[in-house]
Structure formats: C-alpha cells, structure tokens
Structure 1
Amino acid sequence: MTSREEAGALVRRMQECFNTRQFDQAAELFTPDFRNHPLGAIGFEAGRAAWVQVVAQFPKMRVVAEDLLIDGDKVAVRSSVEGMDVQGGDVRAVLIEIFRIDDGRLAEAWGVTEGPDPRR
C-alpha cells in the first residue's frame, strides 16, 4: 500500500515531469496498463503524445498543484494552469484530476478542465 506522503509525492513528481518537459522520465511513474479515461486510452504513450501536443501549442504552459486530497488509493488534485495565452487574457484554466494508485504508480486517471478554451 502506498502511503499518503508517497501518493502526494507521486502526483507532484508527475507534474514536475510535465513542467520540466521530462516526458520520458514520467513514463516510470505509470503502470504499463495505465488507464487514461479523458483520452480513452491505455498506457502512458497516449498521455505523453497529448503532453507533447499541448506544449507545442503553449510552450510556457505549466501546472501548479493548489489542493491535493488523498483518500486510500486515490489522489485528487486541483491545479492552476499557467502560461496559456488565450483571448480574455488574465483568466487561468483550472485542471481537476483524480488518480488511482497501484503499487506506488499511477494506474488510472480522470480529469476535467475549467476556464478559457485555448482553441478560441
């Protein structure tokens, strides 16, 4: 069983890998059969591809954990999203994700984004 401290550190490490563009290092944080519900995909590669695509569009983008809630094998995180230049300017997007952890690795994820749509 993963401790609360380890679970929080795991999610923070995933965000650090995104923010520093260390996508290959992030792969070790996910189980081989990681299920990404928002993308409808299995495995880390679909998420990695999505990360590459979004940072190509927003090179200064980074996520900052504002709240982290841990209950058993689940971690919920509310993050602000910085570095997205969109119309309407000063409104930040908010990312809300829930991760299930299995044996110290991210096994499943759900998520929603609120705020400005960068495609406008």
Structure 2
Amino acid sequence: MTTREQATALVLRLQECFNTRRFDLADELFTPDFANHPLGATGGEAGKEAWREIVARFPDMRVVADDILVDGDKVAVRSSFTGVPAPDGGAGPTLIEIFRVEDGRLAEAWGVTEGPDPRQ
C-alpha cells in the first residue's frame, strides 16, 4: 500500500524528471506495463517521447503541481505550465492527470489539457 505522502512524492519526482530534462530517471517511476491512456501506449517510452517533442518546441517549459489529491491508489494532479506562451496574454494551459499507483510505481495515467495544448 502506497501512502499519501509516497504517492505525492512519486508525482513530484515525475514532474522533476520533466523539469530537469532527465527523462530516463522516470523509468524507475513506472511499472513495466504502465498504461498511458491519453497516448494509447504501454510503457514509459511513449510519454518520454512526447516530453522530448514538447521541450523541443518550448525549451523553457516547466510543469508545476498546483493541487495533488490522493484517494486510495489514485492520485489526481492539477498542474500549470510556465515557459509556454498564452494566446492573447490569457491563461496558459492546465493539465489534469489521474494516476493509478501500484506497488509504489505509476501503473496507469489518464489526462486532459485545458486551454492551449502545448502539444499542438
């Protein structure tokens, strides 16, 4: 059983892997059969490839957890981005993700971006 503190730390470590561009360190955070539902992929490599594409387009981009809620084996995260231009000076994108944690690692992810999608 993963505690609330462990689940929160797991998500923050994932974001730190992105923010420091040390993508390979994320491998230890995923189960071998990690299911990335938004990307329709299994394993962590598809997510890391998406990260590479995003930072190639926005090299100063950083993700910041605004809220982290833990309920059992699920972690919901509302994150904002810096380093991504907002259209017409409006609000930048917000990412909502839900992770399922299994044995202290991320086993599944669901997500949706609100506002301008940095992947577009």
TM-score bin, normalised by smaller chain: over 0.9
Equivalent residue for 1:77?
A: 77
Question: Quick one: which amino acid aligns to residue 4 of structure 2?
Answer: R
Structure 1 unaligned segments of length 5 or more: list them.
none
Separation (CA, whole Å) in 2 of partners of 1:99 and 1:79? 13
Across the aligned residues of Structure 1 and Structure 2, the Cα RMSD in angstroms comes to 1.4
Deviation of the 1:117 alpha carbon: 3.8
Deviation of the 1:81 alpha carbon: 1.1
Normalized against structure 2, the TM-score is what? 0.95
The answer to whether the Cα contact below 8 Å between 1:75 and 1:99 also exists between their aligned partners in 2 is yes
Equivalent residue for 1:37?
A: 37
Deviation of the 1:92 alpha carbon: 1.1
For 1:20-99, list aligned pairs within 5 A. 20-99=20-99
Number of corresponding residues: 120
The answer to whether the Cα contact below 8 Å between 1:86 and 1:118 also exists between their aligned partners in 2 is no
Separation (CA, whole Å) in 2 of partners of 1:110 and 1:95? 11
Equivalent residue for 2:105?
A: 105
The 3-state SS of whatever aligns with 1:88 is: helix
Question: Deviations along 1:44-92, whole A, 9 cap, x unmatched?
Answer: 0000100000000000111100111000000000001111125323421
Structure 2 unaligned segments of length 5 or more: list them.
none
Normalized against structure 1, the TM-score is what? 0.95
Question: Quick one: which amino acid aligns to residue 49 of structure 1?
Answer: E
The answer to whether the Cα contact below 8 Å between 2:86 and 2:93 also exists between their aligned partners in 1 is no
Structure 1 residue runs of 4 or more that deviate by more than 4 Å after TM superposition: none
Separation (CA, whole Å) in 2 of partners of 1:119 and 1:41? 16
Give the percent of matched residue pairs that are identical in Structure 1 and Structure 2: 70
Separation (CA, whole Å) in 2 of partners of 1:119 and 1:66? 20
Structure 2 CA distance for partners of 1:102 and 1:119, relative to 1, 3 Å: closer
